[in-house]
Structure 1
Amino acid sequence: MALGALLTQQRHELEKAELTAALLAEEYRAAAAEPAVHDLVEVVTGASAVAQRFLQLQLGAAEEVCALVTGNPVVVSGIENEAEEQAAGRGVRYRVVVERAVLDLPHGLTELSAALARDEQVRAVDRVPTKLVIADRALAMVPLTSRTADPAALVVHASGLLELLAGLFESVWREALPLRLRAAGVAEEQPDGPDATDLEVLSLLLAGLTDASVAKQLDLGLRTVQRRVRRLMELAGVTTRLQLGWHAYERGWVTRS
């Protein structure tokens, strides 16, 4: 009887130990599943380290790489590197916005022509706010301004900051003009503008006429007028007719007089 009681006591202690071990394992798995706040951002310093991390970012991409490229490369050019060629060869999509100053660099046109030949989408603007590379919307890399001679960069993992950087890229991408590879070299593709009939429709709408009245005034079908209005909204990049009126004035499509 004494031996049985001792065995029962030890069995209960073992069950408590097993339960404690299971709870500790569950806590460990929960902590490991969520990265710590300090793990969401990496600081990379030194030219070779920044260049290596930049290449790793592209080599690890599986779907898409988005980049903003300035006209004053320090460590990497943003267009010319072997990793980009390898990633594009694997089917990774590239969307790149370059400053127009890149076109004046010694090898700028050559590198852009090579990128366009790989079916990469390249656009140009007067100025981009910062260098930026985003891979699969999971990692981003931006330069850090430093008072020291060594370059430095910030690698951002999935977080609200990464979403902010992705939104910055998309806003610059929408404003940029596409570059196309032509016989004479690389050229900007000018966006379509409103034709004379579009401007007549727009003027009458701003004068307060309804779609039906505009159609009757210009001897057009109602659906034709509505289709032209939708096209004007797409050209202006707006979603409401109120915004269309404002953007039409800002773009010089109509005047107050």
Structure 2
Amino acid sequence: MLSDVLGLSPEEADSYRVLVSVASVTPTALAELVGCDILQVSRILGRLEDRGLVARSLGDATRFVAAPPAAALRAPLIQRQNELDRAQLELDSLDEIYRAVTLGRGATEVVDVIHGTEAVRERIGHMQLGARKEVMNFVKAPFFSSGNMTDEAVIERGVRYRVMVERSMLDEGAPSFDEIIQARAAGEMVRIAESVPLKLFIVDRELAIVPLLGSANAAKEGALLVHECSLLDALIALFESAWEKATPFVTSAGALRDAPAVDDLGAQILSLSLTGLTDQAIATQLRTSLRTVQRRLSQMMDTARVHNRMQLGFRAARLGWLDADQDGS
């Protein structure tokens, strides 16, 4: 934080934090506290002194004291806030211009073509970082994304993530089960479908990217960037319809509502079972034995008082074990 606000190096920020915590200190003692050599600390103290963050002790000029944090940080914070306010005004102005231009686009201007894999990845990454409300994503083989399934920093800002994965991708391991667990832990909602109609990435219901899928090398060719128009509305409606039909994917017992005596492994086995994976495929995904999977499923069938996996799926749905409202918890 100090580095961001004051433009300090990590070593300078650490030294100032130490100085704040002591009455006064010599360069030698500070060097020991921050783990730097005396020459480096002397340079750090000189830069902090130039910035008005430290001063020499009145009683002993060989010792240094920190300037009061409130006095030292208030002016830079006010300056940074003013810069952010000006940037926000500029952003609002540019957004108004963009929306005005978008509304005036002709039929041939609502869809742009992005050429090249890297250009598509970069655009998806920028769209994720700029998301304000929601990211909606169809994931279909071959795996083609800007990196991780989820940007945790974006989720921390309150952006909702909904990702629907084609079931065959679980067999192929891309994304891996570990990636899905990490995404769910970060707050992403994940559902599994037997098939996904197309690759799709929608941000804030304002922009969509549709990677081109016409050939074996389609992912390398580029994608369509769809602006606000009836086509985007149709893509959003397609996502919502498919989302309602897909199976919620849970990775912890806490996401199962009213499911008795089910731990995290049991929740994962149940979730994968309901997507249609075989017992062996489930065992492979979870790095456990086939016997363990079969035993756990048998226990859950006994609990639900059913005789086969299909009945278990119906019973779990009826009891609300995989309730859609719990999908994002």
Answer whether TM exceeds 0.5 for this pair: yes
1:101 aligns with 2:168: yes
1:35 aligns with 2:101: no
- Per the alignment, do residues 186 and 115 of structure 1 end up closer, same or farther by CA in structure 2, a change over 3 Å counting? farther
Q: Distance in 2 between matches of 1:119 and 1:36?
A: 36
Aligned residue in 2 for 1:67: 137
Q: Residue type of the partner of 1:97?
A: M
Q: Residue type of the partner of 2:166?
A: E
Q: Residue type of the partner of 2:184?
A: L
Q: Which of the numbers 142, 145, 158 marks the counterpart of 1:91? A: 158
- Per the alignment, do residues 33 and 84 of structure 1 end up closer, same or farther by CA in structure 2, a change over 3 Å counting? closer
| Deviation, structure 1 residue 56 | 1.3
* Conservation of the 8 A alpha-carbon contact between 1:113 and 1:186: no
State the TM-score, normalized to the length of structure 2: 0.44
* Conservation of the 8 A alpha-carbon contact between 2:209 and 2:226: yes
| Deviation, structure 1 residue 49 | 0.3
Secondary structure, in 3 states, of the residue corresponding to 1:154?
strand
Secondary structure, in 3 states, of the residue corresponding to 2:148?
coil
| Deviation, structure 1 residue 108 | 1.3
Q: Distance in 2 between matches of 1:137 and 1:35?
A: 18
State the TM-score, normalized to the length of structure 1: 0.56
Q: CA RMSD in A?
A: 3.2
Q: Which of the numbers 185, 189, 199 marks the counterpart of 1:121? A: 189
Aligned residue in 2 for 1:111: 179
Greater RCO structure (CA 8 Å; 6+ sep): 1
Q: Distance in 1 between matches of 2:251 and 2:134?
A: 21
| Deviation, structure 1 residue 136 | 0.7
- Per the alignment, do residues 134 and 33 of structure 1 end up closer, same or farther by CA in structure 2, a change over 3 Å counting? closer
1:163 aligns with 2:233: yes
- Per the alignment, do residues 32 and 50 of structure 1 end up closer, same or farther by CA in structure 2, a change over 3 Å counting? closer
Aligned residue in 2 for 1:153: 223
| Deviation, structure 1 residue 33 | 7.1
Secondary structure, in 3 states, of the residue corresponding to 1:52?
helix
| Deviation, structure 1 residue 85 | 2.2
| Deviation, structure 1 residue 86 | 2.2
Q: Residue type of the partner of 1:36?
A: R
Q: Distance in 1 between matches of 2:187 and 2:113?
A: 33
Q: Distance in 2 between matches of 1:63 and 1:180?
A: 23
Q: Residue type of the partner of 2:221?
A: P
* Conservation of the 8 A alpha-carbon contact between 1:146 and 1:152: no
Matches within 5 A, 1:18-29: none
Matches within 5 A, 1:1-257: 32=101, 34-37=103-106, 38-73=108-143, 75-76=144-145, 80=148, 84-106=151-173, 108-146=176-214, 149=217, 150-182=220-252, 183-184=264-265, 186-187=268-269, 188=271
Q: Residue type of the partner of 2:222?
A: A
Q: Residue type of the partner of 1:144?
A: L
* Conservation of the 8 A alpha-carbon contact between 1:61 and 1:87: yes
Q: Distance in 2 between matches of 1:172 and 1:58?
A: 22
* Conservation of the 8 A alpha-carbon contact between 2:135 and 2:161: yes
* Conservation of the 8 A alpha-carbon contact between 1:71 and 1:102: yes
| Deviation, structure 1 residue 35 | 3.0
Higher relative strand content: 1
Aligned residue in 2 for 1:198: none
Secondary structure, in 3 states, of the residue corresponding to 1:39?
coil
Q: Residue type of the partner of 2:155?
A: A
Write the deviation string for residues 111-168 of structure 1: whole angstroms up to 9, x where unpaired: 1001110121111011101010111100011112355953210010110000000011
- Per the alignment, do residues 54 and 186 of structure 1 end up closer, same or farther by CA in structure 2, a change over 3 Å counting? farther
